[in-house]
Amino acid sequence: MDFNDTPQEAEFRKEVRSWLDANAPKHLEAELKRASFGSNGLESEDPIKASKAWQKKKAEAGWACLHWPKEYGGGARSAMERVIWSQEEGPYSVLSGLFTIGHGMCGPTVMEWANEEWKERLLPPLASGEEVWCQLFSEPASGSDLAGLRTKAVKADDGSGDWIINGQKIWTSGAQNSDWGLLITRTDPDVPKHKGLTMFFLRMDSPGVKVVPIKQANGASGFNEVYFDDVRIPDDQRLGDVGNGWKVSLTTLMNERLSIGSGMSTGFPELFKFCMDMEIDGEAATADSGVRSKLAQFAVKQSGLKYTGMRAISALSKGETPGPENSIGKLVAGATMQELAMYALDLQGEAGVVWDEDSPQNGRFQAMLMRSPATRIEGGSDEILRNIIGERVLGLPGDIRVDKDVPFKEIPTSGKAKA
Amino acid sequence: MNLDFSDEQKQLRDQVRRFLKENCPPAAVRAILEGDDQYDAKLYQGLADLGVLGAAIPEEYGGVGLGHLELCVVAEELGRVLAPVPVASTVYLGAECLMQAGSEDQKQEWLPKISAGEAIGCWAISEGTGRMKPAKVALTFDGKTVSGTKAPITDGGIADFAIVLANEGSDLSLCLVDLSGSGVSRETLDSIDPTRGQVKLTFEGTPATRIGSAGDGWHIATQVMDRAAILIGFEQLGGADRALEIGRDYALERMAFGRQIGSFQAIKHMLADMYVSATLARSNCYYGAWALSSSAAELPIAAATARVSATNAFQHCAKNNIQVHGGMGFTWAFDCHLYYRRSNALALTIGSLSTWESLLIERMSAGNVEAAA
């Protein structure tokens, strides 16, 4: 066992470091390191412009979309090289947040399902950051049960072959900054829910598309509602066959969990620093036995996630496929951060209620507390993740699905449950 | 980066697993639980013959001279089957202590016997109720003999030698005691896990030799327990994994309300959480294994991390394995309680969970904030 690079890995790391050293936007480093939850923290520059500028620079030098083939603007790098890149990119990776969904989910879906002409049109500007994508999947009435979505696509009756879209999506990150959207719709309500779906992509400036920011429970607005009012989409912007949208969406969702689960923070380093700097009855908080027990429990979660990641990297380094152990990442990190943030406020005593710039670490723990409920839901709720571990890792049987063979239009909806 | 065992080490794991499947079925554990024997002597000799006891002991002292990664692999397998044998007492603590701090004579005398399965050791530190700490030690060493009482001592009833923490003047020293010497009495104690015997050991002028320097006892004992914590962590990891498997298998087999109980989310999510604990523990134990095998500066932090995480996982998996089984899990006939017993006994040995939690943060604070990242 060791934590060393192979000679080839060390060589690659050197190359990455020297390029970053010469090209990274160092004037933003300090600000990016302070990045808080739900924003990239930039104030000195327009965050969108800064993100696009960094992405363009990376693309010109071949460092964009390392997991994509070169013909579409990617870097065609191995999984291990991608890991090394992300370790080295460090705080600048915050600038990639704008493109996470496009590069990680929409791009791979287009790559698998679009025709060659569209791939050549869509993928290079996505890789280089000129165009931004969003994912239009969740709806107010279909979250974990995504296949229960209700946004309708019907063939236009003018013989054009176009589709007319009506309905509403929600929780769309970055819709207000997006040029394109990946949209899943219902084209047939007369068949069981998974069978009546069809996937499209569309310009977000199409007539009839309206983006409205959601004010979240923590007061911030990182997500949007997107309304479709007779929006017209040409048939050649359909991905996969009519009625095959569920299968197409699985390409997207498989990639979603991969990108969200990696390298998640629990907030432990910040809590530990806070406790090192804090006193209880004239002694360091870390000398208090109650504090120690709590901290130790957070510490072993942080370290367990860190070394679980390293086990996966070890497999990649040997050219093997990592095991299912990484599936615990978001489940552990989200719940741990929530509990940890509550504990940090507890240690602040009554003053824990105050959330301003004078709060410890500029109110970081208050921000964590208020943001962490979302982490436990977005990209697969804790409960969905437990189902995935139970069914795919442990081999337990799936749930009995009472709506499985029922035509979609006959499935009971909220407020209309049968007694 | 390579945070994994080598192919050869995985082959060793398979070999030990096959051996234990044959030689340590649940009935063998139950025989110790219900019978008069304090350990499975035949199994122990089999492990010696397989070269397992001497895996990390150098060849010059009669060992196999492999290393500590191999010993970690073995420990995980012993933990999976709840092997009722004194490997932790004799090898992780006894042999490790002698290898770390023993004199040449002490090593020559005991290590070959340990490796051959001819000598069993015990780690005699505790003196009654309360967390282990230097001020609690009352037993004395006068330079030649020890006098006093130690309890509870795992495997003290079957041991040939004891490593005893004693007051020597105003300081603590570690002593090696041949238990065939004069003035030794052993009183069997009932315990929550009778598959590993506990005794009260009393010494009255029993001949002893010091291990290491006078006054170095607590320091050496701490170092030895750090190393043992990683190995016992692997036993706990093996137990956690096996308890999870048993629970999973039962959830697949047991029907209720017309369906497999594993299809209910209440059960499925409980098992998923057990998987999460066991996975965190595995990763932390691998970190410990790396530190142990490379004698890294992080060893004390890695040991406490592995120990806390593995304790969490085994207790969590063993108790929820019973929960998955429902009422059947609380019968004597099912094996769930064997895992429950061992998980709780191992959580207390060489310092309880809260002791290791405290050590972890004390060490991280003394080190640097980098350790937290």
DSSP class per residue in A132-179: -EEEE--BTTBSSSGGG---EEEE-TTSS--EEEEEEEEEEETGGG-S
Q: Which domain holds residue B364?
A: 218-372
Give the integer Cα–Cα distance in Å for B36 and B344.
22
B183 and B156 in a common domain: yes
Mean pLDDT for the stretch of residues A284-289: 93
B234: its two tokens: 């692997």
Q: Is B352's Cβ below 8 Å from some Cβ in A?
A: no
Question: Which of these ranges, A18-22, A86-90, A260-264, B172-176, has the smallest mean pLDDT?
Answer: A260-264
- Give the residue from B361, B362, B363, B364 with the most A CB atoms within 10 Å of its CB, the best one to mutate: B361
How confident is the model over B9-49, as pLDDT tens digits? Answer: 999 999 999 999 999 999 999 999 999 999 999 999 999 99
CATH of the domain at B32: 1.10.540.10
Residue of A nearest to B280 (CA): A304
Distance from CA of A85 to the nearest CA of B (A): 15
- A203 forms beta bridges with A180
Chains A and B: how many Cβ contacts under 8 Å? 179
Give the integer Cα–Cα distance in Å for A385 and A391.
10
CATH of the domain at A73: 1.10.540.10
B325 and B199 in a common domain: no
- Give the residue from B283, B298, B316 with the most A CB atoms within 10 Å of its CB, the best one to mutate: B283
Mean pLDDT for the stretch of residues B343-372: 89
Report which secondary-structure segment, H or E, holds A33.
helix A29-33
> What is the DSSP secondary structure assignment for residue B94, as one 8-state letter?
I
Interchain pair B305, A332: CB under 8 A: no
Name the domain boundary from B158, B189, B216: B216
B232: its two tokens: 């016992």
pLDDT at B179: 98
Name the domain boundary from A127, A152, A184: A127
Q: Which residues of B touch A404 (CB under 8 A)?
A: none
Under the banding of pLDDT at 50, 70 and 90, the label for residue A247 is very high
Nearest to A116 by CA among A72, A180, A75: A72
Mean pLDDT for the stretch of residues B172-195: 97
B322 and B265 in a common domain: yes
- B211 forms beta bridges with B174
Mean pLDDT for the stretch of residues B61-71: 96
Mean pLDDT for the stretch of residues A260-266: 63
Give the integer Cα–Cα distance in Å for B293 and B300.
13
In chain A, % of residues over pLDDT 90: 73
B363 alpha-carbon distance from chain centroid: 22
How confident is the model over B135-167, as pLDDT tens digits? Answer: 999 999 999 999 999 999 999 999 999 999 999
Q: Is residue A372 part of a domain?
A: yes
How confident is the prediction for chain A on average, in pLDDT? 91
A187 and A237 in a common domain: yes
B76 and B34 in a common domain: yes
Interchain pair A299, B305: CB under 8 A: yes
Nearest to B357 among A284, A296, A304 (CB): A296
- Give the residue from B3, B236, B263, B356 with the most A CB atoms within 10 Å of its CB, the best one to mutate: B3
Nearest to A170 by CA among A131, A223, A107, A209: A223
A121 and A211 in a common domain: no
CB A196 within 8 A of CB A186: yes
Name the domain boundary from A215, A244, A273: A244
How confident is the prediction for chain B on average, in pLDDT? 96
Q: Is residue A217 part of a domain?
A: yes
pLDDT at A286 exceeding the cut of 50? yes
Nearest to A261 by CA among A185, A333, A329: A329
A137 and A122 in a common domain: no
B240 and B200 in a common domain: no
Name the domain boundary from B166, B195, B216: B216
A272 and A230 in a common domain: no
- B176 forms beta bridges with B163, B209
Q: Which residues of A touch B250 (CB under 8 A)?
A: none
pLDDT at A217 exceeding the cut of 50? yes
CATH of the domain at B170: 2.40.110.10
Q: Is residue B98 part of a domain?
A: no
Distance from CA of A1 to the nearest CA of B (A): 5
In chain A, % of residues over pLDDT 70: 95
Interchain pair A291, B361: CB under 8 A: yes
Nearest to B284 among A269, A291, A307 (CB): A307
A122 and A69 in a common domain: yes
Q: Is residue B59 part of a domain?
A: yes
Under the banding of pLDDT at 50, 70 and 90, the label for residue A37 is low
Q: Is residue B97 part of a domain?
A: no
B348 and B225 in a common domain: yes
Q: Is residue A311 part of a domain?
A: yes
For A230, the 3-state DSSP assignment is strand
B332 and B191 in a common domain: no
B228 and B147 in a common domain: no
Q: Is B317's Cβ below 8 Å from some Cβ in A?
A: no
B355 and B230 in a common domain: yes
Q: Is residue A95 part of a domain?
A: yes
Number of domains in chain A: 3
Residue of B nearest to A327 (CA): B276
Under the banding of pLDDT at 50, 70 and 90, the label for residue A313 is confident
Name the domain boundary from B182, B216, B250: B216
Q: Which residues of B touch A400 (CB under 8 A)?
A: 259, 263
- Most confidently predicted of A76-80, A164-168, B365-369: A164-168
B163 and B75 in a common domain: no
Contacts of range B329-335, beta carbons closer than 8 Å, 24 or more positions apart: B335/B26, B335/B29, B335/B30, B335/B246
A145 and A98 in a common domain: no
For A19, the 3-state DSSP assignment is helix
A123 and A16 in a common domain: yes
Please, is B175 exposed, middle or buried when counting C-beta atoms within 10 Å of its C-beta (0-12, 13-18, 19+)? Answer: buried
CATH of the domain at A297: 1.20.140.10
Q: Is B255's Cβ below 8 Å from some Cβ in A?
A: no
B184 and B81 in a common domain: no
pLDDT at A135: 95
Nearest to B197 by CA among B84, B324, B303: B84
Give the integer Cα–Cα distance in Å for B90 and B88.
6
pLDDT, greater one: A402 or B219: B219
- B154 forms beta bridges with B198
Q: Which residues of A touch B294 (CB under 8 A)?
A: 1-2
Catalytic residues of A: 256
Name the domain boundary from A199, A214, A244: A244
Residue of A nearest to B247 (CA): A394
A222 and A272 in a common domain: no
Interchain pair A1, B360: CB under 8 A: no
Nearest to B364 among A5, A299, A386 (CB): A299
Distance from CA of B6 to the nearest CA of A (A): 8
pLDDT at A387 exceeding the cut of 70? yes
Interchain pair B294, A1: CB under 8 A: yes
Question: In chain B, which among 72-101 make CB contacts under 8 A with chain A?
Answer: none
Q: Is B369's Cβ below 8 Å from some Cβ in A?
A: yes
Report which secondary-structure segment, H or E, holds A227.
strand A223-233
CATH of the domain at B240: 1.20.140.10
pLDDT at B20: 98
Give the integer Cα–Cα distance in Å for B101 and B104.
9
Nearest to B283 among A276, A296, A304 (CB): A304
pLDDT at A255 exceeding the cut of 80? no
Residue of A nearest to B6 (CA): A1
Q: Is residue A295 part of a domain?
A: yes
A141 and A114 in a common domain: no
Q: Is residue A297 part of a domain?
A: yes
Interchain pair A292, B360: CB under 8 A: yes
pLDDT at A289 exceeding the cut of 50? yes
B297 and B278 in a common domain: yes
Mean pLDDT for the stretch of residues B119-146: 95
pLDDT at B372: 56
Q: Which domain holds residue A40?
A: 7-127
- Total-model pTM: 0.94
B105: its two tokens: 């004579």
A230 and A184 in a common domain: yes
A24 and A120 in a common domain: yes
> What is the DSSP secondary structure assignment for residue A415, as one 8-state letter?
T
Under the banding of pLDDT at 50, 70 and 90, the label for residue A341 is very high
pLDDT at A228 exceeding the cut of 50? yes
In chain B, % of residues over pLDDT 90: 96
Nearest to B263 among A307, A318, A397 (CB): A397
CATH of the domain at A177: 2.40.110.10
Distance from CA of B339 to the nearest CA of A (A): 20
Q: Is residue B1 part of a domain?
A: no
How confident is the model over A89-115, as pLDDT tens digits? Answer: 988 988 998 999 999 899 999 999 999
Question: In chain B, which among 158-217 make CB contacts under 8 A with chain A?
Answer: none
pLDDT at B369: 47
Mean pLDDT for the stretch of residues B57-77: 97
pLDDT at B368: 54
Number of domains in chain B: 3
